[in-house]
Structure 1
Amino acid sequence: MKIGDVYLNGTVFYTIDYGENWEEEPDGDMTFKTYGIDNSPPATPIIEGPSSGKPGTSYTYTFITGLDPDGDDVSYYIEWGDNTSSGWTGFIPSGPPGYSESHSWTLKGTYTIRCKVKDEFGAESDWAELTVKIPRDKSINNIILRFYEKYQLLYELLQLIFDQFGF
């Protein structure tokens, strides 16, 4: 809620000295702060997007929550399952169309995308999850990547040798 909104469950106060002394205002028609406002968390979001793909290819996912029970704007937090996250997005209206973001995974594996939503007052939803499988890319272009996956220590040793001799 913002200044000027009606607060049904709160007590309205006013001040004329910038917060030094607060007095009760029966009409609620002045600068005010409130206490005791009920705030329900947003619904758990739904994650839409592919559940499999190729390493190095970017895929777009859409994260949708139902309308916030209090009509608040919401922010999304996304974890991609590869130790990266989106951080909290800016606040947008709840409900469709939701929020979309693209991501790619560089290595084969099974990743769990997790997303939660919070409203403007900090109430958070439960986590939603989607599992994404990125199988090994069989193309010739990824021979070095496959070598690295299989022989990581040898690969790092070869890098040190090449660096030492200026290759």
Structure 2
Amino acid sequence: MYRKNLYIILFLIGLITSNGFGVAISSSIIYSTDDLLSDNSSTLIISSHPIFGTATWSDGGFAVGTEVKVLSIYGRLITFVNNDGDWLIDFNETTEKWPDGTPFEVIITGCCPRWFWSGYAYDYINGDYNDLGNIELSYNENLNHPPTVPYINGSLIGKPDYEYHFTIESVDLEWNDIYYCIDYGDNNGEIWIGPFPTGERQIINHTWNEKGIYQIKIKSKDIYDAESDWGMLKFSVSKSCEVFKAHILDISHMFIERLPLLEKILLKL
């Protein structure tokens, strides 16, 4: 006998940083109630990225008029109705049919990162938790992007043993927090700092002890280890900025002082 008004409800119940099943990035995880069911309740993990989900029933489907509903994080109800052998899928925005006996699909967007979702199914009429057969939920998360290449702003020239300040900024498309890897080019190796909110400008400081030209390299990564390319800035360290300026002035003065001599030479030609 087919059950009517079957509901699958997903709802937010708490924030976690890890779980027994993990969060998949650029891969697919299939959650089966046969494996995960505990008191007819299964645990699902969804990240901040748009989720492509499918669900199938191993007992062959449900009768005409059976409803399956998903409550999204925003409280928007997505309804699946078995109508004459097809699933009528209503996203409260668009409606389409999906053939019976095949997985129906739903895209859930805008989910919060690392949130703990609990999914369970029950007979809505009786309000009891019943064994509904094997329900498989497959979430394919392929939409994580690395943060943008860090923008570096600051001085281009300086003197030894003086601390210089630079601002850095990177944006993550999925609004994940960001770490920065910094190499100041002085053979002291790379350092990681963070995490910081996406798009938030950070100030870094560094002192060079020797004169030379240094390549500052900075890259960013999100909380899922997706890394950007390197952002770069050349920084020149002279003995002293004032000495550097003095050298320029000396050269200029020498050139001006020799103009009369140059004039005499030209007159003798």
Q: Which interval holds the TM-score relative to the shorter structure?
A: 0.5 to 0.7
Kindly tell me: are residues 91 and 29 of structure 1, through their superposed partners in 2, closer, same or farther at Cα, counting changes over 3 Å? same
Aligned mate of 1:29, from 118, 131, 148 = 118
Distance in 2, matches of 1:50 and 1:104, equals: 12
Q: TM-score, normalised by structure 1?
A: 0.63
Aligned mate of 2:158, from 53, 56, 64 = 53
1:125 aligns with 2:214: no
What does residue 83 of structure 1 align with? 187
What does residue 40 of structure 1 align with? 145
Deviation at 1:90, TM superposition (A): 2.1
Tell me the amino acid that sits aligned with residue 94 of structure 1.
T
Distance in 1, matches of 2:148 and 2:196, equals: 15
What does residue 156 of structure 1 align with? none
Tell me the amino acid that sits aligned with residue 221 of structure 2.
K
- Could you list the structure 1 runs, at least 4 aligned residues long, displaced by more than 4 angstroms after superposition: 9-12, 25-28, 32-35
**Structural mapping, 1:148-163, within 5 Å:** none
**Aligned length in residues:** 130
Distance in 2, matches of 1:58 and 1:33, equals: 53
**RMSD after superposition:** 3.8
CA contact (8 A) 2:43 2:118 kept: no
Instruction: Show structure 2 runs of 5+ residues with no match.
Output: 1-14, 18-23, 45-53, 56-69, 71-116, 120-136, 243-269
- The Cα offsets for residues 74-107 of structure 1, whole Å up to 9 and x where unpaired, read as 100010010124521121111132x221101001
Larger radius of gyration, structure 1 or 2? 2
Among all aligned residue pairs of Structure 1 and Structure 2, give the percentage whose two residues are the same amino acid. 30
Deviation at 1:49, TM superposition (A): 0.9
- The Cα offsets for residues 117-140 of structure 1, whole Å up to 9 and x where unpaired, read as 00011111110100000012389x
- The Cα offsets for residues 38-94 of structure 1, whole Å up to 9 and x where unpaired, read as 2111111110111111100001111111x3111111100010010124521121111
1:94 aligns with 2:198: yes
Instruction: Show structure 1 runs of 5+ residues with no match.
Output: 140-167
Q: TM-score, normalised by structure 2?
A: 0.41
What does residue 265 of structure 2 align with? none
Kindly tell me: are residues 84 and 33 of structure 1, through their superposed partners in 2, closer, same or farther at Cα, counting changes over 3 Å? farther
Distance in 2, matches of 1:103 and 1:127, equals: 18
* Worse-matched range after superposition: 84-93 or 33-42: 33-42
Distance in 1, matches of 2:210 and 2:229, equals: 28
CA contact (8 A) 2:219 2:227 kept: yes
CA contact (8 A) 2:159 2:241 kept: no
1:69 aligns with 2:158: no
Deviation at 1:35, TM superposition (A): 4.7
SS in 1 for 2:173: coil
* Larger relative strand fraction: 2
Tell me the amino acid that sits aligned with residue 118 of structure 1.
K
Kindly tell me: are residues 52 and 33 of structure 1, through their superposed partners in 2, closer, same or farther at Cα, counting changes over 3 Å? farther
Kindly tell me: are residues 58 and 70 of structure 1, through their superposed partners in 2, closer, same or farther at Cα, counting changes over 3 Å? same
